[in-house]
Amino acid sequence: MPQIVILPHPTFCPDGAVIDAPVGKTLCDAMLDSDVDIEHACEKSCACTTCHVVIREGFDTLDDPTDKEEDLLDMAWGLEANSRLSCQVVLGDDDLVVEIPKYTINHASENH
């Protein structure tokens, strides 16, 4: 069972969190099941970028993103080389360290 370290985020996880999640579950579901209320406006259907995360450790252990995920990531606020949509990350045996970006495209557009 992989251990997922969620770095502190002022809204979704102020103190950070450590989650033990089953292999085969998506990162988004693992966070939601552990009371890390990450946004998921498209209900986890890979149609938006609100569940965007940055994988700080363990990125290379994940399956490659699909073309659809990569196309959506191009629109994500704060995109980095190790960005993923948490609804598309299927957990394997390896531990991860995850950062939730400060803003989502929804948050940024609502505040302008």
8-45 confidence digits (pLDDT tens)? 999 889 999 999 999 999 999 999 999 999 999 899 99
- Residue 12 lies in domain: 3-110
CATH number at residue 14: 3.10.20.30
In the sheet that holds 3-6, the strands lie side by side as 17-20, 3-6, 96-99, 52-57, 83-85
In this model, does residue 51 exceed pLDDT 60? yes
> Which is it for strands 96-99 and 52-57: parallel, antiparallel or unpaired?
antiparallel
Domain tally, the chain: 1
Q: Which pLDDT score, from 0 to 100, does residue 112 have? A: 33
Predicted pLDDT of residue 18: 97
- Tokens (6 digits) for 70: 């990569």
Mean pLDDT within 53-69: 97
Quick: pLDDT tens for 62-103. Answer: 999 999 999 999 999 899 999 999 999 999 999 999 999 987
Query: How crowded is residue 104: how many other Cβ atoms within 10 Å of its Cβ?
Result: 21
Other C-beta atoms closer than 10 Å to the C-beta of 69 total 17
Q: How many CA atoms lie within 13 A of 21 on its CB side?
A: 30
On whether the CB atoms of residues 32 and 21 are closer than 8 A, the answer is: no
User: pTM score, two decimals?
Assistant: 0.90
